[in-house]
Chain A
Amino acid sequence: MSKRIEVKDLNVYYGKFKAVEDVSLTIEPRTVTAFIGPSGCGKSTFLRTLNRMHEVIPGASVQGEVLIDGKNLYDADVDPVMVRRQVGMVFQRPNPFPTMSIKDNVLAGVKLNNGKISKSDADHLVEKSLKGANLWKEVRDRLDLPGSGLSGGQQQRLCIARAIAVSPEVILMDEPCSALDPISTLAIEDLIEELKAKYTIVIVTHNMQQASRVSDKTAFFNIAGTGEPGKLIEFDDTTTIFENPHVQATEDYISGRFG
């Protein structure tokens, strides 16, 4: 179910401002890749180009190629809506739909897209997705209550359940734990470990320990100064990046000397 992502010479713009310059990297299927780097270096921006969420922002544009299993996402005949069904996303702040119950939140992607799903299928999917997101035990007796009534960590896991319910092949996570306590964070890290078996996962994080705990590969982004575009400095196995990085800037960042 999971796919390889190849990025070739990608430049990302907000209007005239070039936010990310010349990124090329390959993400293997069924791996966890972490993006690290100082604030404003374009991690979120780059992440959002992987499912064409970047172009939702007025004036935003992309140059270059993102190939998923050899097919360029930015080809003229590709429908961004279809891309987003394959590449799911979890945001920094939990954002369950406030008008919907927990159950409807999980089913949102399926229901909004296909309209019809039989009740037994729906119940099955809800249970499967919530179990997949490690939330089932906590919410199984209040599936019909609003999703916004959950704690922050539970809401974030609800959002993960919502993302995996549409069975994507890749899941992008933009600082999924930054608003969470250590216990919820651990729960989500465990979850990422489990999801890895089925999905390709890309995660942005400011937490070095988290990156080293959950990821197989790590990409370090950096920025020369304000107004300059962010660049991919080093991309390698997580152990290499954390134990003997090749670039001085990476080492400085990881050892906390800047950023």
Chain B
Amino acid sequence: MSALVVPAPTSARQLSKPTLWLTAGVSAFVAFGVFGVLMAAGISEGFNIVAAVFASAILFVLLSYVMSRIVEGRRKAADRLATGLVTTAFIVALLPLISLIWTALVNGLPRFDALFFSSSMRNVVGEGGGGLHAIIGTLEITLAATIISVPIGIMTAIYLVEYGKGRLAKAITFFVDVMTGIPSIVAGLFAFALFAIFFGPGIRFGIGGAVALSILMIPVVVRSTEEMLKLVPNELREASYALGVPKWLTIVKIVIPTAIGGIITGVMLSISRIIGETAPLLIIVGMSTSMNYNLFSDRMATLPVFVYTQYASQGSDAQAYIDRAWTGALVLILIVMALNLIARLVSKLLAPKGLR
């Protein structure tokens, strides 16, 4: 009767939490110790914290695998190994980012002061001066690029998802893909060539930069919006049609509101993608040391180009220039972070409840 095989209870012996923590502690101690000795012996220059963290992680994965193999058996050990490797990969991906932000903070904070945010570089040759003109320029040009790209990008995506079929849609998709790969310098040259036709070869102005950036931005907006629109269940469109709602109203009132959170996230990401572009702006916008609020005439300063010029042509007091460059970079990172936070917030607020 009772031929049912009762599954063996999972191994009662398990590595306890404290043991694991201890292992982690030991790994970290050993790794940091080794790097500490290396430094003390003068083999490595300074204490390499990134390498130490990485070595601890690897050591921990290996140690816990061996221990788990002994105590918990094969399956559990494999599980721990896989989890450990994935986590380590994650840490490896994260380390450069953290290191980068750390470096930017350390080098950028000295000039992260009121003066930086309240003055331009007009008539400044040594210390002092600031990047207000570059911040304004970056914000203006990015905003203009966004205003150009978002409607074009979103409408293209709507066409592709809701209307497009056959050759034209395929061709558009193909060209969007090609556009995604356009090197930014080419976009800059294109904008320059375009405006040189109308205004002569000496032309430099902000809006030209915005056009160049749009070329880089549009494909990103198209792609991300397309994905978001595809995520909207077809049943919602059908429900709307079945109520006698015309197609365009269905798109405007049902499809887009359902996808709006994702669309906004995509737009924000595309802004982050272009806000740090340097090459196209160097060509068509140029650089200026003084304030220029007017997108439509004369050179403008932008943060990436500001960082570049500060670093590339250091004046009498080199350190002052380098400090300003780092602060410019830090401000750029902060702007991108702020945009991403806003995007998350907005998409959380707008995401339909119960769908995501």
- A and B pair up: yes
Binding site for B on A (CB under 8 A): 51, 53, 56, 58, 81-86, 88-89, 91, 93, 95-99, 108-109, 112-113, 146, 148-149, 159, 162-163, 166
Binding site for A on B (CB under 8 A): 165, 233, 235-246, 249-250, 253-254, 257-258, 352-355
Task: Give 30 pairs: A residue, B residue, CB < 8 Å, sorted on A.
Answer: A51-B242, A53-B242, A56-B241, A81-B244, A81-B245, A84-B242, A84-B243, A89-B242, A91-B239, A97-B236, A97-B239, A97-B254, A97-B258, A98-B353, A99-B254, A99-B258, A108-B245, A109-B243, A109-B245, A112-B240, A112-B253, A113-B245, A146-B353, A148-B354, A148-B355, A149-B353, A159-B239, A162-B239, A163-B243, A166-B243
Interface contact B244-A113, CB-CB below 8 Å: yes
- Bound-complex Cα distance A84 to B244 (A): 5
Interface contact A148-B353, CB-CB below 8 Å: yes
Chain B residues contacting A89 (CB-CB under 8 Å) are 242
Chain A residues contacting B352 (CB-CB under 8 Å) are 98-99, 146, 148
For the A-B complex with A113-B244, A113-B245 known, give 8 more contacts whose Cβ atoms are closer than 8 Å: A88-B243, A97-B236, A98-B236, A98-B354, A112-B254, A146-B352, A163-B242, A163-B243
- Bound-complex Cα distance A81 to B244 (A): 5
Chain B residues contacting A95 (CB-CB under 8 Å) are 233, 235-236, 238-239
- Bound-complex Cα distance A46 to B36 (A): 77
| Residue in chain A with minimal CB distance to B261 | A99
Chain A residues contacting B239 (CB-CB under 8 Å) are 91, 95-97, 159, 162
Which of B236, B249, B355 lies in contact with A112, CB distance below 8 A?
B249
Chain B residues contacting A163 (CB-CB under 8 Å) are 242-243
What's the dominant secondary structure at chain B's contact region? helix
Q: Measured between C-beta atoms, what is the minimum distance from B340 to chain A in Å?
A: 24
| Residue in chain A with minimal CB distance to B253 | A112
Interface contact A146-B238, CB-CB below 8 Å: no
- Bound-complex Cα distance A98 to B233 (A): 10
Given the known A-B contacts A56-B238, A95-B238, are A146 and B243 also in contact in the complex, defined by CB atoms under 8 Å? Answer: no
Interface contact A98-B243, CB-CB below 8 Å: no
- Bound-complex Cα distance A63 to B228 (A): 35
- Bound-complex Cα distance A194 to B246 (A): 30
Chain B residues contacting A109 (CB-CB under 8 Å) are 243-245
Q: Measured between C-beta atoms, what is the minimum distance from B126 to chain A in Å?
A: 57
| Residue in chain B with minimal CB distance to A80 | B241
Interface contact A53-B243, CB-CB below 8 Å: no
Q: Measured between C-beta atoms, what is the minimum distance from A110 to chain B in Å?
A: 9
Q: Measured between C-beta atoms, what is the minimum distance from A67 to chain B in Å?
A: 19
- Bound-complex Cα distance A166 to B240 (A): 12
Chain B residues contacting A88 (CB-CB under 8 Å) are 242-243
- Bound-complex Cα distance A116 to B150 (A): 30
| Residue in chain B with minimal CB distance to A115 | B249
- Interface centre among A51, A82, A112, by most B CB within 10 Å? A112
Chain A residues contacting B257 (CB-CB under 8 Å) are 99
Interface contact B354-A146, CB-CB below 8 Å: yes
| Residue in chain B with minimal CB distance to A172 | B242
Chain A residues contacting B249 (CB-CB under 8 Å) are 112-113
Chain A residues contacting B242 (CB-CB under 8 Å) are 51, 53, 84, 88-89, 91, 163
- Bound-complex Cα distance A58 to B162 (A): 11
Chain B residues contacting A113 (CB-CB under 8 Å) are 243-245, 249
- Bound-complex Cα distance A89 to B237 (A): 13
| Residue in chain B with minimal CB distance to A145 | B353
Q: Measured between C-beta atoms, what is the minimum distance from A135 to chain B in Å?
A: 17
Interface contact A93-B235, CB-CB below 8 Å: yes
Interface contact A85-B258, CB-CB below 8 Å: no
Q: Measured between C-beta atoms, what is the minimum distance from B337 to chain A in Å?
A: 29
Chain A residues contacting B254 (CB-CB under 8 Å) are 97, 99, 112
Chain A residues contacting B236 (CB-CB under 8 Å) are 95, 97-98
Chain A residues contacting B355 (CB-CB under 8 Å) are 98, 148
Chain B residues contacting A159 (CB-CB under 8 Å) are 239
Given the known A-B contacts A58-B165, A95-B233, A99-B258, are A53 and B241 also in contact in the complex, defined by CB atoms under 8 Å? Answer: yes
Chain B residues contacting A91 (CB-CB under 8 Å) are 235, 238-239, 242
- Bound-complex Cα distance A4 to B282 (A): 72
- Bound-complex Cα distance A190 to B238 (A): 26
Chain A residues contacting B244 (CB-CB under 8 Å) are 81-86, 109, 113, 166
